[in-house]
């Protein structure tokens, strides 16, 4: 029996979600999409889960979309219907729990974009980030054109999107693409250590703080301050 494309493990208050197509460098296919959809719903609705870690099995976090499945949908309309009905990226972005991407090796295209949808990114020292979509005749489709400028600034995001330039772990830390860089052997340990720290905080307060930062970033300063005041009153 084949292994599931995404593994789900609970470790006390932590949810550890592992992309599990290691021989394909965790290329994102239909099976992975469906498995991840079910797991993200479970994480969102589980009051015992305080923090989620997203990681990858094998030599890479993820090399993005599985090109062997490109164009395999019956029609573009059908493909869009399925994508919107199973909105993994919106669900990941809006989880109330803090999310930590623990990335290593090639973190490419949709893989890098998945990491950008998480709240915090811890990168192993062997991580390589890049967005090759433009050179392949498409544009990033996992929110990268929107999340990258917010994370690293407009100029750096345009550089990565337009040129497909590779960014290694040390540079990623410098430009804000990664929050920490750790040795590959200690990646999961570092992610769990941070996750356990966050898990000790009041989950309602954490969710409100996350909402204030996430939503406030899209507002004017005056509207953001109003949002903060309203959320502060809910604590």
Q: Which residues are known catalytic residues?
A: 113, 133
Strands ordered across the beta sheet of 180-182? 6-11, 14-19, 51-56, 99-103, 120-124, 180-182
Give me the phi and psi of 124, to 5 degrees please.
-70, 160
d(CA 220, CA 223): 5
Euclidean distance between CA atoms 209 and 153, whole angstroms: 22
Phi–psi pair at 104, nearest 5 degrees:
-155, 165
Angle at 5 between CA 51 and CA 57, to 5 degrees: 65
Question: What is the spatial distance between Cα 144 and Cα 132, in angstroms, rounded to a whole number?
Answer: 11
Three-state secondary structure call for residue 190? helix
């Amino acid at each position: 029996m084949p292994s599931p494309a995404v593994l789900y493990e609970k470790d006390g208050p932590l949810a550890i979600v592992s992309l599990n197509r290691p021989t394909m460098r965790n290329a994102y296919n239909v099976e992975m999409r469906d498995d991840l959809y079910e797991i993200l719903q479970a994480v969102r609705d589980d009051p015992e889960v305080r923090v989620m870690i997203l990681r990858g099995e094998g030599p890479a976090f993820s090399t993005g979309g599985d090109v062997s499945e490109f164009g395999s949908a019956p029609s573009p309309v059908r493909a869009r219907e399925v994508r919107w009905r199973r909105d993994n990226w919106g669900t990941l972005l809006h989880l109330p729990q803090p999310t930590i991407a623990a990335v290593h090796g090639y973190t490419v295209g949709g893989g890098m974009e998945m990491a950008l949808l998480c709240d915090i990114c811890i990168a192993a020292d062997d991580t390589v980030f890049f967005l090759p979509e433009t050179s392949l005749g498409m544009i990033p489709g996992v929110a990268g054109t929107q999340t990258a400028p917010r994370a690293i600034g407009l100029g750096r995001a345009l550089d990565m999107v337009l040129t497909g330039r590779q960014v290694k772990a040390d540079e990623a830390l410098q430009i804000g693409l990664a929050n920490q860089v750790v040795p590959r052997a200690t990646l999961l340990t570092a992610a769990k250590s941070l996750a356990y720290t966050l898990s000790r905080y009041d989950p309602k307060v954490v969710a409100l703080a996350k909402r204030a930062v996430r939503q406030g970033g899209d507002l004017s300063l005056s509207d953001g301050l109003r949002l903060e005041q309203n959320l502060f009153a809910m604590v």
